[in-house]
């Protein structure tokens, strides 16, 4: 989170009081946070993330009278974002598109800029992993290939791919933590 609960809430309340500048700053701060949230949930369809972000911003703007001051504004924002995200998945599902399970989980990034940086880092860090883990993660996590297809491509069993992905991810997390420190 770039902006904490206290800052966001202050901006929100001033915006609700009719301060257009505060409202704009609020929307801008929220869009930074939400872009990261939505991208991390829609990693296989980044082009949808920006559309969805705009939908959420409009919802937040037009429904802002539904915010209850006695609750955290971040909870309100994320409830709306999550709702719009689920709605988006539902619409996609109705159109018969495949929804990768991988979208539902994953890393959390802090902002748009960091998302770009992080991807570059990951490629570097990936190179430090054993071949098997590297290929599994690249296919399953980065390219969004199903575990079964990935197994066929690498020539491993499905459970091998799952274990390699899991172990590789753990190593990656450790490497990233070290790189950050």
Residue numbers of the site for another protein (CB under 8 A)? 15-16, 18-21, 23-24, 27-28, 31, 35, 50, 53-54, 57-59, 61-68, 71-72, 75-80, 82-83, 87
CB of 149: closest distance to another protein in angstroms? Answer: 33
| Residues with Cβ within 8 Å of residue 33, at least 6 apart in sequence | 1, 2, 3, 77, 111
CB-nearer residue toward another protein: 57 or 115? 57
CB of 118: closest distance to another protein in angstroms? Answer: 20
CA distance 76 to 80: 6
CB-nearer residue toward another protein: 58 or 99? 58
CB-nearer residue toward another protein: 21 or 130? 21
What are the helix (H) ranges across the chain?
Answer: 5-16, 20-41, 46-62, 73-94, 112-126, 131-137, 147-154, 158-180
Residue whose entry in the numeric block shows the structure tokens 């709702």: 83
Other Cβ atoms closer than 10 A to 168: 23
CB-nearer residue toward another protein: 56 or 172? 56
CB of 76: closest distance to another protein in angstroms? Answer: 4
CB-nearer residue toward another protein: 52 or 154? 52
CB of 90: closest distance to another protein in angstroms? Answer: 9
Note whether 102 and 43 are within 8 A (CB). Answer: yes
> Which 3 state secondary structure label does DSSP give 63?
coil
CB of 65: closest distance to another protein in angstroms? Answer: 5
């Amino acid at each position: 989170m770039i902006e904490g609960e206290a800052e966001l809430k202050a901006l929100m309340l001033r915006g609700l009081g009719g301060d257009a500048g505060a409202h704009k700053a609020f929307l801008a701060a929220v869009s930074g946070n939400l872009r990261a949230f939505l991208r991390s949930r829609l990693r296989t369809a980044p082009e949808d993330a920006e559309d969805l972000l705009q939908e959420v911003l409009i919802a937040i703007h037009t429904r802002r009278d539904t915010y209850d001051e006695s609750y955290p504004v971040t909870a309100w924002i994320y409830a709306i974002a999550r709702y719009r995200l689920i709605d988006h998945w539902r619409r996609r599902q109705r159109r018969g598109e495949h929804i990768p399970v991988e979208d539902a989980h994953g890393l959390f990034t802090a902002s748009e800029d960091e998302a770009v940086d992080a991807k570059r880092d990951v490629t570097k860090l990936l190179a430090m992993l054993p071949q098997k883990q590297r290929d599994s993660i690249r296919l399953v996590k980065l390219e969004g290939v199903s575990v079964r297809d990935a197994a066929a491509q690498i020539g491993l069993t499905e459970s091998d791919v799952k274990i390699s992905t899991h172990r590789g991810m753990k190593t990656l997390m450790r490497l990233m933590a070290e790189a950050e420190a």
